Amino acid sequence: MFGRTHYCGEITDQHIGEEVVLKGWVQRRRDLGGLVFVDLRDRTGIVQVVFSPETSKEAYETADKVRNEYVLDIKGRVVARSRETINPNIKTGTIEIQANEVTILSAAKNPPFTIEDRTEVSEDVRLKYRYLDLRRNTMFETFQMRHNITKSVRSFLDEEGFIEVETPILTKSTPEGARDYLVPSRVHPGEFYALPQSPQIFKQLLMVSGFDRYYQIARCFRDEDLRADRQPEFTQIDIEASFLSQEDIMDLTERMLKRLMKEVKGLEITEPFPRMTYAEAMSRYGSDKPDTRFGMELIDVSEIVKNSSFKVFANAVAQGGQVKLINAKGAAGQYSRKDIDQLAEFAARYGAKGLAWLKVEDGELKGPIAKFFSEEEQDQLKKTAEAESGDLLLFVADKNSIVADALGALRLKLGKELGLIDDNQFNFLWVTDWPLLEYDEEDGRFYAAHHPFTMPFREDLPYLESEPEKVRAQAYDIVLNGYELGGGSLRIFEKDIQERMFKALSFTKEEAEEQFGFLLEAFEYGTPPHGGIALGLDRIVMLLAGRSNLRDTIAFPKTASASCLLTDAPGEVSQSQLEELHLRLSVEKNG
């Protein structure tokens, strides 16, 4: 074997006349006019190699035997292609390699799917043969981008004086939050480690240590029922700093993302990013992570219709709810009654009991409910909704939360269907002033909207016991194109406030002490004000690489049932392994 001189995809006209050594996989082999053509692929792309019996009979005969996905070692000369054989679809389309030596390094069976960017095969097959799936150039490019993203982040944070510190993966179970993955201890019978849902407590302890500026590209774990965009293990860019204000941390994040967009996507984005309070986001977009690449905002018409003869609307307002609409500009013609029925079904998934609608024709509101509104009400509706002929108005009347959820989801659906979204646009947005606590009807208690260490607004502290739902948090989420990229907050650094927070979360003094006693104690030894942010790396990669699915951003992902189809994890273990861990199964296993 001889050393590679170039990657396949990097050979250009500049190399004509040079002797090169290439290593790669056979994308395709063709026999044509007494020659063998091999498209040779490596992680950078494809180059055409020509074997002629006149150049080397031996190489020609070897090449004649190769099949798709064979691994070859090739020596040859770069030559220009004749004008009629130039292939403008590939980077190396103006040249080809005249091979004079070839070695088959590894043969290959016929793969279960062809290695091409667009593959029709099911995702299950792709995941089982992940090592073949990853051969597709589009996959490698995604991981190259992931590498570039972490590189950009690391170099930015390094320049800003942050040091990367690794925190433990084997740590303590903290039942608050999502479900923990547990790891039984062999040395301590009946005891368990937990895998961290985030390095939250450790990064705060590093602030107590005076590390001042910490970051970590950190693996985190949540044993939750998986949705399309969740994985049992995920990676976050985890940042914490002392002595910074919320403004400082937001500014730092903006500069990091600005540089990232420049270095990774070649795009200039402007800072400061737009900001919106949580209340405003919910009101205008029905979402705490608005996609601001298009309008079609939610419009409150409760005041206009509260006395109308349309009882559904009037009652909703009377019962403390709302009536809101979205105006699908110019879409009246595109949505038949049947289509609108389907939109209503869609809205129902978000709890909406119905979806009322009106179309504007020749300046007039038309539709089954039009008759319930007086002329004045109709005029006001049109004015408020900025409704013009051809517009479709869609209404939901319900409790505020249902109105927001249903219209927020409808807005996104219509935005896509009507082609209002520019895929090349990257709209960053801060959502601020979150509620500190959320009431859970089912459990009859408050949960932390972010996490239990989030600092309340100082001026709201007096309400922490009396009206907890009123208390706002010094928390901020960063949103990109309707996805939550991450969130952060200033943290509580005073023991007494932290104790009040635990109490608001229905911890007894003993529970708080048992689970977080070490943190409360740490706060007593001189704790700096501190705060931070965590950004989901997988999601950043997904959005920047233009992928639709988090699994495409993770080299060896799990399925929705948390299985690895490649290695067949999880799997059974031996009786002796269980015994060492002081465990018995409470289920019967075969084998």
List C-alpha distances in Å: 177 to 222, 261, 379, 425, 474.
9, 32, 49, 34, 19
We find the least distance from the C-beta atom of residue 465 to a second copy, in angstroms, to be 24
Query: In angstroms, what is the minimal distance from the CB of 223 to a second copy?
Result: 6
- CB 160, CB 213: distance < 8 Å: yes
User: Residue 224 annotated as binding?
Assistant: yes
Task: Give whichever of 309 and 508 is closer to a second copy, judged by the CB atom.
Answer: 508
536 is in an annotated binding site: yes
Three-class SS of 235-282? EEEEEEEECCCHHHHHHHHHHHHHHHHHHHHCCCCCCCCCEEEHHHHH
Q: Is 459 labeled as ligand-binding?
A: no
Tell me if 9 is assigned to a ligand binding site.
no
Nearer to a second copy, 15 or 23 (CB): 23
Residue 572 C-beta: closest distance to a second copy, Å: 6
State the Cα–Cα distance between residues 583 and 573, nearest whole angstrom. 12
Least separation in angstroms between CB 205 and a second copy: 5
Find out whether 345 is annotated in a ligand binding site. Answer: no
Least separation in angstroms between CB 117 and a second copy: 14
Q: Is 491 annotated for ligand binding?
A: yes
Alpha helices in 162-245 (DSSP H): 200-208
d(CA 220, CA 445): 27
The answer to the question of whether 465 is labelled as a binding residue is no
Q: Which of 495, 493, 453, 494 is nearest to 475 (CA)?
A: 453
444 marked among binding-site residues: no
| Rounded Cα–Cα distance for residues 1 and 104 (Å) | 10
Question: Bridge partners of 241?
Answer: 213, 531
Task: Please report how close the Cβ of residue 349 comes to a second copy at its closest, in angstroms.
Answer: 24
H-helix or E-strand containing 467? none
User: How many angstroms from the chain centroid is the CA of residue 87?
Assistant: 36
Q: How far apart are CA 328 and CA 295, in angstroms?
A: 10
Minimum Å distance from CB 131 to a second copy? Answer: 4
Smaller CB distance to a second copy: residue 136 or 382? 136
86 or 585: CB nearest a second copy: 585
Kind of pairing between the strands at 233-242 and 392-398: unpaired
Q: Is 255 annotated as a binding residue?
A: no
For a second copy, give the closer residue by CB, 18 or 511: 511
Q: Determine the Cα–Cα distance for residues 297 and 304; give it in Å rounded to an integer.
A: 17
**Which residue has 């635990």 as its token pair?**
502
**Residue whose CB is less far from a second copy, 35 or 562:** 562
537 is in an annotated binding site: yes
- Record the tokens describing residue 577, joined without a space: 């392994």
Name the minimum Å distance from CB 584 to a second copy: 5
Residue 119 vs 185, nearer CB to a second copy: 185
169, containing H or E segment = none
For residue 437, what is the enclosing H or E element? strand 437-440
Cα distance between residue 477 and residue 162, in whole Å: 21
For a second copy, which is the closer residue by CB, 206 or 540?
A: 206
Structure tokens at 192: 């368990």
Q: Residues at the annotated binding site for ATP?
A: 222-224, 231, 484, 536-539
Q: Residues at the annotated binding site?
A: 176, 222-224, 231, 450, 484, 491, 536-539
Q: Residues at the annotated binding site for L-aspartate?
A: 176, 222, 450, 491
